[in-house]
Amino acid sequence: MMQLALLILFCLLPAAWGAPDEAAGRVVTVVSGDSLGIEMIVSDPRTNYIDSIKLADIDAPSTVTSEGKASKAYAVSLLKNKTVYLDIDDNISQCRNQWSELICVVYLMDEDYQPIWPPVNRIMVDEGYAVLHDDAGNEFNASDWWVQPSLPLSGDNRDRLRARLEPSDLESQLNESSWQAQPPQDSNEVSILKKSRASGGYVIGYHNR
C-alpha cells in the first residue's frame, strides 16, 4: 500500500521539475553568474561535446559591473570544475536562446551521483547574485524551485555517469602496474569560450595551456 501511495505521489509531482539528469557534464568555464561552458560526459541529442549553457529563468548582472563580477566569482566558487546534471528546456526550438545557449536548470550532485536539491538557478537567486526572471516561453516554472520535492529527484543517468567517471576493475589493475599509459597528444589543450564579434555570443574552442 505504501509503495502504491508513493507511486501516485510521484506521478503528481509538478511537471516543471522535469528530468534533472537529461545530460551531465563538467563546468569548464564560467562566463557570468548565469552562463556556463559545459564539457559533456553524458550527452543528449540536443547537446554538443562542449556547449554553452544559460541558467533558465534567472538574470545575473553584467560582468562589467562590480555586482556582475561578484556574481561570476560566486558562480566560479560554486561550479568551476564540478560535474553537474542538466534539465534541458523542451519548449524552445532547438532548446537554445538567440546566443545559441542551451536553456537549462542545473543541479549539483552528491557523492553517489544523485542530483542535489535545490537547483543552482535557485541558489544564485537565494544568495543575491541573480534575480528571478520567469520566462513563460520555456517549460520551467521557477516558483516550484522553492517547493521541496516530496520524493528524491530521479537519477536515471547515474549509472552511465558512474561508468564514465569511475575506473573499471581492469583500469584499476593497469593503474597499479609498473608501467603508465602515455597521455594523449592534446593533453595540453583546454576548452574556452570566446566572444564572437559578429553575433555577440560565445564560441567554444581550444587553446594550449
DSSP 155-192: -TTHHHHHHHHSPPHHHHHHHHSS--PPPPTTTTEEEE
What is the model's pTM?
0.72
The backbone torsions φ and ψ at residue 193, rounded to the nearest 5 degrees and listed phi first, read -110, 130
pLDDT digit string, tens, across residues 20-44 = 878 999 999 999 999 999 999 999 9
Q: What are the grid coordinates assigned to 183, written together?
A: 597521455
3-class state of residue 16 by DSSP: helix
- How far is the C-alpha of 84 from the C-alpha of 168, rounded, in Å? 22
Give the other-Cβ count within 10 Å of 32's Cβ: 21
pLDDT digit string, tens, across residues 49-88 = 999 999 999 999 999 999 999 999 999 999 999 999 999 9
Structural domain spans, the chain:
12-164+184-208
Which fold does the domain 12-164+184-208 belong to in CATH?
A: OB fold (Dihydrolipoamide Acetyltransferase, E2P) (2.40.50)
Determine contact, residues 130/59, Cβ cutoff 8 Å.
yes
